[in-house]
């Protein structure tokens, strides 16, 4: 049983004044925030209202002691209810995709359509604990500019684009640096974030579902397709050739067009 929902922060885009499509909630992945989706959200908002969510323990949303998918799914359902008077479409990437699946499986009548980006309803073996450790190791008292933290992360995170993504969570206010991530809870709950609740695997969501994954990513393997179809029997599984796990950032035009076309069919 999920605990109480957290009241999530979101950026609201109202959509067109007339002929608006179904409202869309966007849930980011681990270490992300709603701001990562601003450009794509503006494209989607040409046809529908869009809310880009900061998940619990991320961005400007409140912190909480747990990071289970049932709890995060409840957060999304509460956010949808607060913001829209009708069932919504939910788009989630990676961690946000699992939270979106949990929302649809928990309360199917509240989710009219589901888009899951490069994740499946299965446990994973990789861990991002080393990234959390790297962020915790940064001496925040020695930083007055974000760029000063970059070399402090370089040994643990050699990929410059990944460091740049993570550093978006470092804020400098009144000369003081802080992370907009609850690093202690992300560390203690990492096992849950990698897992998939067994209880949710016994449920089904019969609504329209799109699993859109990167062709060069290993997050949605052929072996995972059986789990997808068992839990989401009306799922369509599509691939973006050449894209990796961050498919929406690597191929934003192809990603946004695939999602927009699919949503138009579901409106």
The whole-number average pLDDT for the span 139-151 is 94
Residue 8 clears pLDDT 60, i.e. is over it:
yes
Residue 1 clears pLDDT 70, i.e. is over it:
no
Q: Which tens digit of pLDDT belongs to each residue from 106-130?
A: 999 999 999 999 999 999 998 899 9
Q: Residue 167's pLDDT band (boundaries 50, 70, 90)?
A: very high
Percent of the chain with pLDDT over 90: 93
What's the CA gap between 135 and 178, in Å, rounded?
10
pTM to 2 decimals? 0.96
Question: How much is the pLDDT for 232?
Answer: 98
Active-site annotation, residues: 94, 184, 245
Residue 149 clears pLDDT 70, i.e. is over it:
yes
Task: Say whether 94 sits in a helix, a strand or coil.
Answer: coil
What's the CA gap between 215 and 197, in Å, rounded?
26
The answer to whether 24 and 91 have CB atoms below 8 angstroms apart is yes
Question: How much is the pLDDT for 260?
Answer: 97
Is 160 buried (19+), middle (13-18) or exposed (0-12) by CB count in 10 A? exposed
Question: How much is the pLDDT for 2?
Answer: 65
What's the CA gap between 105 and 125, in Å, rounded?
23
Q: Which tens digit of pLDDT belongs to each residue from 129-142?
A: 999 999 999 999 99
Domain ranges of the chain: 10-124+195-266, 129-187
Superfamily in which the 10-124+195-266 domain is placed by CATH: Alpha/Beta hydrolase fold, catalytic domain (3.40.50.1820)
Question: How much is the pLDDT for 146?
Answer: 92
The answer to whether 227 and 202 have CB atoms below 8 angstroms apart is no
The gap from C-alpha 24 to its chain's centroid, in whole angstroms, comes to 13
Q: Which tens digit of pLDDT belongs to each residue from 93-106?
A: 999 999 999 999 99
The whole-number average pLDDT for the span 233-245 is 97
Q: Residue 17's pLDDT band (boundaries 50, 70, 90)?
A: confident
What's the CA gap between 208 and 226, in Å, rounded?
17
Q: Which tens digit of pLDDT belongs to each residue from 173-221?
A: 988 999 999 999 999 999 999 999 999 999 999 999 999 999 999 999 9
């Amino acid at each position: 049983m999920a605990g109480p929902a957290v009241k999530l922060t979101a950026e609201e885009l109202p959509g067109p004044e007339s002929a608006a499509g179904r409202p869309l909630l966007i849930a980011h992945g681990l270490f992300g925030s709603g701001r990562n989706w601003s450009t794509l959200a503006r494209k989607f908002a040409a046809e529908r209202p869009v809310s880009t969510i900061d998940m619990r323990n991320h961005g400007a949303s409140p912190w909480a002691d747990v990071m289970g998918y049932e709890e995060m799914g409840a957060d999304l359902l509460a956010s949808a209810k607060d913001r829209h008077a009708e069932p919504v479409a939910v788009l989630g990437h990676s961690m946000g995709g699992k939270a979106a699946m949990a929302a649809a499986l928990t309360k199917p009548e509240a989710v009219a359509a589901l888009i899951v980006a490069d994740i499946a309803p299965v446990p994973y073996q990789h861990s991002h604990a080393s990234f959390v450790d790297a962020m915790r190791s940064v001496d925040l008292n020695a930083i007055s500019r974000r760029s000063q933290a970059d070399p402090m992360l370089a040994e643990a995170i050699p990929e410059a684009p990944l460091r740049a993504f993570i550093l978006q969570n470092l804020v400098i206010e009144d000369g003081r640096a802080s992370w907009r991530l609850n690093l202690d809870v992300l560390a203690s709950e990492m096992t849950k974030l990698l897992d998939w609740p067994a209880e949710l695997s016994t449920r089904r969501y019969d609504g329209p579902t799109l699993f859109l994954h990167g062709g060069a990513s290993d997050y949605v393997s052929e072996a995972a397709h059986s789990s997808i179809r068992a839990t989401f029997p009306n799922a369509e599984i599509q691939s973006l050739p050449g894209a990796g796990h961050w498919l929406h950032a690597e191929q934003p035009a192809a990603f946004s067009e695939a999602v927009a076309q699919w949503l138009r069919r579901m409106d």
